């Protein structure tokens, strides 16, 4: 998997490159918008990480130019501005996700993984999700584990659906808030934890092998225990 | 006060715009007075002079007619007759032949040799007249020349007229002088009083610039324009002082509030340093340190966010937002927290209210309010959220917690303000500041009420 990092701050670029390479990605860096656009159109990257403020060509302009050239590569925007209207602008310009500096690396990794996965799933209509012995029917909106029906509230259903669609991926609390509740805000307490633990109580409590796991310092992951 | 300072003071006075204005006014006024006095002079003294000239003219004309009708003899006798009648010598006559020989009149000789015709002014000295009272009266006269070359002088003693004229012109000159002097003195006086008041403003500003923000410009209480200026400046100073106080307060609090987590962060790092041999312990310390760093960043982000919202970094929100939907979502999210504390959590949303706003910011505000309500309400307490439709949309969050003493109800919106002074308790003290900033961005109001027991937070927002 090849990632292009367009970032003018050398230190941040280096930090991203090292971290991503440790996680197994191949990383190229561009220090300004023009180089970034040139590299992004000239070569095939699986993902772009673009800083919002760039010398030469601004990050959003870069994305617009890229989209205008017909490139559909997923783009994650990094920004120090980090306010809601900036995020909206960023998404409107054609980026796929938006992350505010300072960010934790685990948050970035989780989002990168989600973006890359989305590219591979494509747009097939899925009617059933299955992880280990947990099954979800999206049409009848029912959930079974080991043949036993589990009664879920609508929001719990959406939460579990998101987990199952991203099984095996780390999902951060902010990602859950954004995708499941569809609000971009900063909860003062970890209200998300309460909801996840309720979901856990329903799908994991009476079974031997738990499926939802806590990833320290990052968030949660749904996967079959080894 | 030496002469030097007096000079400095005077130049300062002369440079004031009030004095310059007074000077312009004085010039204008003096010109008007000058024109007025000129008219008075023309109408009085001038009139008398013209009158004299006219009589002389008329008399010459009369005498010329006499000459034509009765010849030389007749004229001489008329002149003699008139001279005889003119006992006080106010009228002056002299009639001479072609070669300058005296023929008639009360003058002895021509005052000047070369006069042939026209107006003359001369003094009655012993050469031309018999000495009378000793003083040399001025005479104004006109000389008429007959066809034969004889000359006739008819004049009037204008001594009295001159006196009157002099009196009038002296009075007018003095009047003019007094006017200018009074205007100048008035200008000085006015500028001095203006200067004194401006100086008091300057003095106060200098003291304020030196750092004493509590100083205020004195007012006279007369409500004049200077008082109004002073009152406005004082109101401005008041606001500046409040703002400065706020800034000082906030930076003090930032220092306080960040010192605690930074100290903890430092402790973790220190702990890590001494436990390098124990990987499990080190890992634990690293996680803790990261958590502390995140908390500090969160506080900074919240601060930046508030100031961005307050300084208009956001566009005026213009999405249509259904408060009912928003509240329902927030309640659904936070209900779980309340249930963990066995609190009853009730939402009364029978009426929907639409407003123009930013749904993420509004949700953030609501989340902060619900979070606070749950946090500060003891277990098994009651929390209620409802919407009201009035002149404006109202969103109320009430709880049965400890509440906020009425004296502190305005202060809780200040950054880092905490009712509970123990800084080790949860939260960063920015929650309500953010709520207030969001509400004000939406042109709304927020206030606290007593829920008896507990607290009631009321948000008032304009409809879409």
Q: What is the pLDDT of residues B292-330, one digit of tens each?
A: 888 888 888 888 888 888 877 666 777 899 999 999 999
Q: What is the mean pLDDT of chain A?
A: 87
Using a CB-CB cut-off of 8 Å, the residues of chain A touching B334 are 191
pLDDT tens-place string over residues B153-197: 888 888 888 888 888 888 888 888 888 888 888 878 877 888 888
Domain ranges of chain A: 2-121, 128-222
How far is A72 from A75, CA to CA, in rounded Å? 9
Return the bridge partners of B354, or none.
B322
Is A80's Cβ below 8 Å from some Cβ in B?
A: no
Q: Which long-range contacts (CB under 8 A, 24 or more apart) does B339-342 make?
A: B340/A194, B341/B374, B341/B377, B341/B378, B341/B379, B341/B380, B341/B381, B342/B379, B342/B380
Residue of A84, A86, A80 lying closest to A103 (CA atoms):
A80
- For an interface test with B, which of A98, A183, A184 has the most B Cβ atoms less than 10 Å from its Cβ? A183
Distance CA B280, CA A73 (A): 41
Within 8 A of A102 by CB-CB distance, chain B residues are 297
First to last CA, chain A: 25
CATH number of A2-121: 3.40.50.2300
Task: Give the pLDDT mean for B369-377.
Answer: 91
Angle (CA) A65 A70 A71, round 5°: 80
Across the interface, do B287 and A189 touch by the CB < 8 Å criterion? Answer: no
Answer whether B109 touches A (CB < 8 Å). Answer: no
Contact status of B122 with chain A (Cβ, < 8 Å): no
Question: Parallel, antiparallel, or unpaired for β B393-399 and B455-461?
Answer: antiparallel
How far apart are alpha carbons A35 and A75 in whole angstroms? 16
pLDDT at B43 over 60: yes
Q: Average pLDDT in the A17-31 region?
A: 93
Is the CB of residue B104 less than 8 Å from the CB of residue B76?
yes
Taking CB atoms and an 8 Å cutoff, what residues of chain A touch B294? 104
Residues of B within 8 A of A188 (CB-CB) are 367-368, 371, 427-428, 431
Chain B residue with minimal CA distance to A87? B360
Residue B397: CB atoms within 10 Å:
23
Average pLDDT value for residue range A121-142:
83
pLDDT at residue B426 in the model:
62
CA distance A28 to A2: 8
pLDDT at B261 over 90: no
Contacts of B85 (CB under 8 A, 6+ apart): none
* Segment B329-339 mean pLDDT: 92
Q: Are A34 and A59 in contact (CB under 8 A)?
A: no
Nearest CA in chain B to A155: B332
| Contact call for residues B214 and B241 (beta carbons, < 8 A) | yes
Phi, psi of A5 (to 5 degrees): -105, 120
A190 close contact with B: CB closer than 8 A: no
Q: Dihedral of the CA atoms B310, B311, B313, B319 (nearest 10)?
A: 40
Of A102, A187, A216, Cβ closest to residue B367 = A187
By the 8 A CB rule, do B331 and B385 touch?
Answer: yes
- 8 Å CB contact between B186 and B73: no
Kindly tell me the burial class for residue B444, based on how many C-beta atoms sit within 10 Å of its own C-beta (0-12, 13-18, 19 or more): buried
Q: Does B342 touch chain A (CB under 8 A)?
A: no
Chain A: give the shortest CA distance to residue B433, in Å.
13
Residue B129 · residue B93 · CB < 8 Å: no
Pick B129 or B425 by higher pLDDT: B129
Contact B308 A217 (CB under 8 A): no
pLDDT at A81: 59
pLDDT of B130 reads 63
Q: What's the CA gap between A22 and A25, in Å, rounded? A: 7
Gap between the Cα atoms of B11 and A34, Å rounded: 66
In Å, how far is B399's CA from the nearest CA of chain A?
Answer: 18
pLDDT for B126 equals 67
Query: Each residue of B54-100: pLDDT tens digit?
Result: 999 998 888 888 888 888 888 888 888 888 887 777 888 888 888 77
Q: Which residues of B touch A186 (CB under 8 A)?
A: 298, 301-302, 364
> Residue B384 pLDDT > 60, yes or no?
yes
Rounded to a whole number of angstroms, the distance from the CA of A133 to the nearest CA of chain B is 27
Contact B412, B419 (CB under 8 A): yes
Q: What are phi and psi of B320, to 5 degrees?
A: -80, 125
List all residues 6 or more positions away from B431 whose beta carbon is below 8 Å from its beta carbon.
A188, B368, B371, B372
pLDDT at position B276 over 80: no
Closest-CA residue in chain B for A83? B305
Enter the tokens of residue B209: 């610039």
Give the pLDDT band of residue B9 (cuts 50, 70, 90): confident
Q: Which residues in chain A are closer than 8 Å to B359, comparing Cβ atoms?
A: 183
The answer to whether A83 contacts B287, with C-beta atoms less than 8 Å apart, is no
Confidence of residue B209 (pLDDT cuts 50, 70, 90): confident
Considering only CA atoms, which of B86, B412, B117 is closest in space to residue B107?
B86
CB-count exposure of residue B259 (10 Å: 0-12, 13-18, 19+): exposed
Residue A96: name the closest of A19, A26, A13, A179 by CA: A179
Q: Does B14 touch chain A (CB under 8 A)?
A: no
Q: Do A217 and B337 touch (CB under 8 A)?
A: no
Q: Model confidence over B144-162: pLDDT tens digits?
A: 887 777 888 888 888 888 8
Tell which of B310, B327, B333 to mutate to test the A interface (max A CBs under 10 Å): B333
The CATH number of A128-222, from 1.20.1050.10, 1.10.10.10, 1.20.140.10, 3.40.190.10, is: 1.10.10.10
Q: Please work out, in degrees rounded to the nearest 5, the angle formed at the alpha carbon of residue A80 by the alpha carbons of A77 and A86.
A: 65
- In terms of phi and psi (left: phi > 0; alpha: psi -120 to 50; beta: otherwise), the region of B100 is left
Tell me the C-alpha distance between A100 and A53, whole Å: 12
pLDDT, averaged across chain B: 84
What's the pLDDT score for residue B421? 62
Sort out which chain A residues have CB atoms less than 8 A from B302's CB and list them.
Answer: 186
Alpha-carbon distance B78 to B188, whole Å?
66
pLDDT at A31: 92
Provide the pairing of β-strand A2-6 with A26-30: parallel
CB B453 within 8 A of CB B403: yes
CA distances from B248 to A43, B240, B252 (A): 54, 12, 6
The dihedrals phi and psi of A80, each to the nearest 5 degrees, come to -90, -15
Residues A74-94 pLDDT 10s = 999 988 755 556 677 777 788
Which of the pair, B113 or B173, is modelled with greater confidence? B173
| DSSP assignment string, B375-407 | HHS-TT-EEEEEEEESSSEEEEEEE-S----GG
- A183 and B363 within 8 Å at the Cβ level: the answer is yes
Least confident residue range of A2-11, A149-158, B120-129, B234-243? B120-129
Q: In what order do the strands lie in the sheet with A2-6?
A: A26-30, A2-6, A47-51, A75-79, A97-100
A189 touches chain B (CB under 8 A): yes
A216 pLDDT exceeds 70? yes
Could you tell me if A217 lies within 8 Å of chain B, comparing CB atoms? yes
Least confidently predicted of B114-128, B195-209, B365-379: B114-128
Closest residue in chain B to residue A88, using alpha carbons only: B360
* Full set of structural domains in chain B with CATH: 3-43+164-206 (no CATH), 45-157 (3.30.450), 225-310 (1.10.287.130), 319-461 (3.30.565.10)
Q: From residue A148, how far is each of A133, A140, A142, A151 by CA, in Å? A: 10, 15, 11, 10
Nearest by CB: B360 against A84, A194, A198: A84
Provide the pLDDT for residue B120.
84
Give me the percent of chain A exceeding a pLDDT of 70. Answer: 94
Please give, rounded to a whole number of angstroms, the shortest distance from the CA of A194 to a CA of chain B.
6
Q: Tokens 């948000």 correspond to what residue?
A: B459
Looking at chain B, the whole-number percentage of residues with pLDDT higher than 70 is 94
- A191 to B363: CB separation less than 8 angstroms, yes or no: no
Q: Residue B336: which of A83, A85, A191 has the nearest Cβ?
A: A191
């Amino acid at each position: 998997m090849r990632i292009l990092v367009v970032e003018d701050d050398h230190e941040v670029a280096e930090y991203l490159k090292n971290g991503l390479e440790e996680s197994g990605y191949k990383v190229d860096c561009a220090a300004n918008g023009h180089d970034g656009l040139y590299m992004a159109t000239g070569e095939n990257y699986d993902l772009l990480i673009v800083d919002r403020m760039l010398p030469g060509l601004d990050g959003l302009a870069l994305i617009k130019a890229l989209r205008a050239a017909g490139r559909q590569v997923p783009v994650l925007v990094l920004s120090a501005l980090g306010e809601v209207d900036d995020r909206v602008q960023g998404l409107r310009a054609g980026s796929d996700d938006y992350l505010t500096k300072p960010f934790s690396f685990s948050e970035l990794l989780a989002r990168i993984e989600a973006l890359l996965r989305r590219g591979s799933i494509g747009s097939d209509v899925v009617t059933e999700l299955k992880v280990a012995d947990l099954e979800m029917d999206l049409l009848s909106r029912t959930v079974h584990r080991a043949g036993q029906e589990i009664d879920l509230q609508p929001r719990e259903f959406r939460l579990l659906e998101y987990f199952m669609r991203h099984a095996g991926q780390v999902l951060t609390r902010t990602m859950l808030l954004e995708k499941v509740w569809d609000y971009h805000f900063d909860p003062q307490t970890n209200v998300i934890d309460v909801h996840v633990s309720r979901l856990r109580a329903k799908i994991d409590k009476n079974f031997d092998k738990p499926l939802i796991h806590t990833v320290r310092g990052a968030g949660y992951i749904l996967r079959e225990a080894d | 006060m030496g002469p030097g300072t007096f000079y400095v003071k005077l130049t300062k006075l002369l440079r004031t715009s009030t004095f310059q204005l007074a000077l312009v006014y004085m010039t204008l006024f003096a010109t008007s007075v000058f024109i007025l006095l000129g008219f008075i002079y023309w109408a009085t003294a001038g009139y008398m002079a013209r009158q004299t000239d006219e009589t002389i003219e008329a008399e010459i004309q009369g005498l010329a007619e006499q000459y034509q009708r009765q010849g030389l003899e007749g004229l001489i006798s008329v002149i003699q007759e008139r001279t005889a009648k003119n006992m006080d010598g106010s009228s002056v006559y002299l009639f001479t032949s072609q070669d300058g020989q005296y023929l008639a009149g009360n003058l002895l000789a021509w005052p000047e040799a070369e006069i042939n015709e026209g107006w003359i002014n001369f003094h009655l000295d012993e050469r031309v007249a018999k000495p009378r009272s000793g003083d040399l009266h001025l005479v104004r006269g006109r000389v008429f020349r007959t066809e034969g070359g004889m000359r006739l002088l008819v004049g009037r003693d204008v001594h009295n007229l001159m006196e009157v004229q002099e009196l009038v012109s002296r009075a007018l000159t003095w009047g003019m002088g007094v006017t200018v002097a009074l205007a100048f003195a008035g200008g000085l006086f006015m500028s001095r009083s203006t200067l004194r008041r401006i100086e008091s403003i300057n003095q106060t500003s200098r003291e304020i610039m030196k750092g004493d923000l509590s100083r205020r410009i004195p007012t006279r209480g007369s409500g004049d324009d200077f008082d109004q200026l002073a009152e406005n400046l004082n109101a401005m100073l008041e606001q500046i002082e409040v703002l400065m106080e706020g800034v000082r307060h906030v930076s003090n609090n930032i220092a306080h509030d960040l010192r605690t987590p930074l100290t903890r962060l430092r402790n973790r790092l220190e702990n890590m340093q001494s436990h390098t041999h124990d990987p499990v312990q080190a890992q634990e310390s690293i996680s803790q340190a990261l958590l502390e760093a995140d908390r500090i960043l969160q506080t900074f982000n919240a601060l930046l966010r508030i100031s961005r919202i307050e300084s208009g970094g956001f566009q005026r929100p213009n999405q249509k937002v259904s408060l009912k939907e928003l509240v329902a979502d927030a309640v659904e999210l936070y209900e779980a927290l309340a249930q963990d504390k066995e609190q009853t959590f009730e939402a009364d949303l029978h009426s929907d209210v639409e407003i123009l706003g930013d749904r993420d910011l509004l949700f953030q505000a609501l989340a902060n309010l619900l979070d606070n309500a749950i946090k500060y309400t003891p277990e098994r307490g009651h929390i209620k959220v409802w919407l009201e439709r009035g002149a404006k949309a109202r969103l109320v969050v009430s709880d049965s917690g400890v509440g906020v003493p009425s004296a502190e109800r305005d202060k809780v919106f200040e950054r880092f303000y905490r009712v509970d002074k123990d800084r080790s308790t949860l939260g960063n003290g920015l929650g309500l500041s953010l709520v207030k900033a969001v509400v004000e961005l939406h042109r709304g109001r927020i206030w606290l009420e007593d829920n008896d027991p507990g607290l009631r937070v009321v948000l008032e927002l304009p409809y879409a």
